[in-house]
Amino acid sequence: MSQKDIPVLKPDTPVILEMNRISKTFGAVTALVDVSIKLHQGEVLALVGDNGAGKSTLIKILSGFHHPDSGTIVYQGKEVHFRSPRDARAQGIETVYQDLALINDLSIYHNMFIGREYHKRVLGLKLLDNRKMRDLAQTYLNSLGIQIPSVNSTVDLLSGGQRQSVAVARSIYSSPTVLVLDEPLAALGVREGAHVLGLIQNLRRQRSVSIILIVHNYNQVFEVCDRINFLHSGEIALDASTSDTSEEQLIRIVKSGLGRQAIAAAAAEVEASTGSTSTNRL
Amino acid sequence: MPRRVGIALPDTAFERALVILSRYREASIAVVALVLAIYFQVGSNGAFLSSQELSVVLRDTGRFGLIAVAEVMLMITGEIDLSVGSTFSLAPYVMVLMSIGWGVPLALSAVAGILLGVLIGLVNGIITVRFRVPSLITTVGTFFLLQGVVVSIYNSQPIVAPVQEPFNEIFGENLYSPTDSLWSWHGLTAFTPFLWTLLVVLAMALVLNRTTFGLHTIATGSNIVGAREIGVRTDRIKVYNFMIAGAFAAAAGVINTTQFASADPLAGGPFLTLQAIAAAVIGGTSLLGGSGTAIGSLLGAFVVATLNNGLVMMGAQATVSDIYLGTAIVLAMILNVQVDRMRARRRV
């Protein structure tokens, strides 16, 4: 995949979204401690970290699914409180969850439009406009090059890759302002993964949507991301730009990390050896 | 044939039969209903379809069907309401007491009775979604509570309901008279309650298949976490469906009382609850959530009503019909669950 045609983000690009000092506990389990992240207009931010580091919790707070114990979210310059996923979606924040949130008993086109259905009036009754949704879904999925048997079939008939593609297509259909993808490549084979990655790269090229991407494969991080936040034990341990950090360095930092100090030391070492401007928050 | 990668086609006769059943769920239960009708018609020497017997069957179909269609909606969301049998008794009792005691017109006190049903549904729903009590338990609790209330008002005594036209004509009229041909409109509809149930069932089929509410009801039962993540207000959807169940159970009770001009505190009870659930299950709705059929609930109600009345008509003891009903429920449930499992294995 070519990086050459990707426009570079200017240093003065405005911040579209800020999560400030977010903390969250579930009973006895502390998931997040004072986590802050910043997302710039048109930027692709990778959120990396081990299993259980709090990545999914953080994005579920952003999507309105969970509510933070403390901390604030500033979105498009205003402080917001999302009471539900419906709230966040209505304000242009779309999320593709790890479980994809597809409804097995419904058709592909109903899944595409659930929560924002099209209606028509029949004898004064507000009924679903199934034909319109079917046609729009078919056209849209075709335009993205997503191959599915028929938009009429229920999603439980789809392969893992097709399901993932439908979930991603649903999230970008409404041209969101912020798109959150929780491990969009997890269940995919090489070819299918490349396709979804291509979709993300296309969005990045246009710089019209800001993306938070949770990934495990650092190869992919460097292909499509502008910046990396490394979340460790509920805290942001590293915030670095992909142009300043190499994949090898990142892997060294992540591998070192079973303790704060180890991460800090590794990060400092990387910083010293490159003289880069990557900021270490610890 | 060599084995291939991919989804295996159904290979045994049983699996092939399941595929056909799942594709034409309503049609297959309609066939069962038809076979039963023919069986009783032959077995009773023509009494089943030519006497007022059918009007009794249709009256019962109307009663079970109205409650069953609400149970279908709830079962699609993955919940159930066992308190409907008490609501069925309480709502018309309150209606009649208001009418006699305060002189409220029957039509108005009927509305009050149905609103009481809605309120009962709201309480069931809130206890279930807010306090996370399984609805099976919530509604067993409210069942006993309401049953206790209705029998304690007048020490279990039935009270005579006033007759006010046109209310009684609209909601409790037997249209069928011995001079009517069975194949006349009146012969086929018999009691107005059946017509009301038919209307409601068709409306609910439309709601389930062609409205946002129906879509979200299916989503709630099919994948509750996913539905929440995508912005479906699953708690609300459940509460609304509990309110529908309360309203329909109350309406069925009001209609029943209007027909017999009597409000009996023991008219509903656990047996009615279970018959309505049996109708929903025989109609092709499993308790697993995510799928169900409104039309099926009416067909299921007809099967239950036919089994109840047909065997008695043929001279069997009333208790014998329960053996058949019980067998029918178990067989229907096995089929429903097997069809769902096959669908989960992507073979349908």
Chain segment B201-220, per-residue pLDDT in tens: 999 999 999 999 999 999 99
pLDDT at B29: 81
pLDDT of residue A281: 38
Tell which of B77, B229, B286 to mutate to test the A interface (max A CBs under 10 Å): B229
**pLDDT averaged over chain B?**
85
> How many angstroms separate the CA of residue A131 from the nearest CA in chain B?
11
Residue A157 lies in a domain: no
**Confidence at B9, pLDDT banded by 50, 70, 90:** low
For B104-164, give the DSSP string. --HHHHHHHHHHHHHHHHHHHHHHHHHS---HHHHHHHHHHHHHHHHHHHTTT--EEPP--
For residue B25, which of B276, B346, B339, B334 has the smallest C-alpha distance? B339
Contact of B106 with B164, CB cutoff 8 Å = yes
Running DSSP on this structure, what letter comes out for residue A153?
S
Q: What is the rounded CA–CA span in Å between residue A264 and residue A253?
A: 8
Rounded CA-CA distance A17/A252 in Å is 29
CB contact under 8 A, A114 and B226: no
Over residues B265-277, mean pLDDT: 90
In a domain, A56, yes or no: yes
A240-244, B13-17, B96-100: range with highest mean pLDDT: B96-100
Q: How many domains does the structure of chain A reveal?
A: 1
Cα dihedral sign, A46-A52-A54-A57: positive
pLDDT at B1 over 50: no
* Pairing assessment for the beta strands A70-75 and A78-80 based on DSSP bridges: antiparallel
The strand pair at B159-160 and B262-263 is best described as antiparallel
Task: Identify which has the larger pLDDT, B270 or B28.
Answer: B270
B219-B222-B225 Cα angle (round to 5): 75
Which residues from chain A sit within 8 angstroms of residue B218, using beta carbons? 103, 105-106
> Is B291 in contact with B20 (CB distance < 8 Å)?
no
Judge whether residue B5 has pLDDT over 60.
no
In this complex, is the C-beta atom of B346 within 8 Å of any C-beta atom belonging to chain A?
yes
Cβ atoms within 10 Å of A139's Cβ, excluding its own: 11
Q: How confident is the model at residue B345 (pLDDT cuts 50, 70, 90)?
A: low
Contact between chains at A117 and B210 (C-beta distance less than 8 A): no
Residues of B whose CB is below 8 A from A95: 229
A101 contacts B222? CB cut-off 8 A: no
Hey, is B52 helix, strand or coil?
Answer: coil
Q: In this model, does residue B62 exceed pLDDT 80?
A: yes
Residue B187 is encoded by which pair of tokens? 């012969």
**What is the nearest CA distance from B190 to chain A, expressed in angstroms?**
29
Contact assignment for B229 to A97 by CB distance below 8 Å: yes
DSSP B7: P
Per-residue pLDDT of chain A (282 residues; tens, 9 = 90+): 445 567 777 777 888 999 999 999 998 888 888 889 999 998 999 998 877 778 889 999 999 999 999 999 999 999 999 999 999 999 999 999 988 999 999 999 999 999 999 999 998 889 999 999 999 999 999 988 888 888 988 888 888 888 888 998 999 998 899 999 998 887 777 787 888 888 888 888 888 899 999 987 777 777 888 888 888 777 777 787 877 777 777 777 766 655 556 566 666 666 665 544 444 433
A-B Cβ pairs (cutoff 8 Å, strict): 79
Instruction: Give the residue on B whose Cα is nearest the Cα of A88.
Output: B231
CB contact under 8 A, A103 and B218: yes
Interface predicted TM-score (ipTM) over 0.90: no
A158 interaction partners in chain B (CB closer than 8 Å): none
* Residue A36: inside a domain: yes
Are A37 and A230 within 8 A, CB to CB? no
Domain coordinates of chain B in residue numbers? Answer: 32-344
Tell me the nearest-neighbour CA distance from A82 into chain B, angstroms: 12
B5–chain A Cβ distance below 8 A for any pair = no
CATH number assigned to the domain with residue range B32-344, chosen from the 4 options 1.10.1660, 1.10.472, 1.10.3470, 1.20.1340: 1.10.3470
Measure CA of the first residue to CA of the last residue in chain B; give whole Å: 21
Residue B50: predicted pLDDT: 63
Which of A65, A100, A104 is the closest to B228 by Cβ?
Answer: A65
**CA-to-CA distance for B301 and B284, rounded, in angstroms?**
11
Answer whether residue A156 is part of any domain. Answer: no
With 0-12 / 13-18 / 19 or more C-beta atoms within 10 angstroms meaning exposed / middle / buried, residue A10 is exposed
- Residues in a beta bridge with A26: A29
Average pLDDT of the residues in B79-94: 95
Cα B315 to Cα A21, B54, B310, B319, B320: the distances in Å are 78, 16, 9, 11, 10
CA dihedral B335, B337, B338, B343 (to 10 degrees): 120
Asked if residue A129 belongs to a domain, the reply is: no
CATH number at residue A268: 3.40.50.300
Q: Give residue A89's domain range.
A: 15-102+178-274
Cα(B113)–Cα(B116) distance, rounded to whole angstroms? 5
Asked if A156 lies within 8 A of B228 by C-beta distance, the reply is no
Residue A184 lies in a domain: yes
What is the residue-wise DSSP string for A262-276? HHHHHHHHHHHHHT-
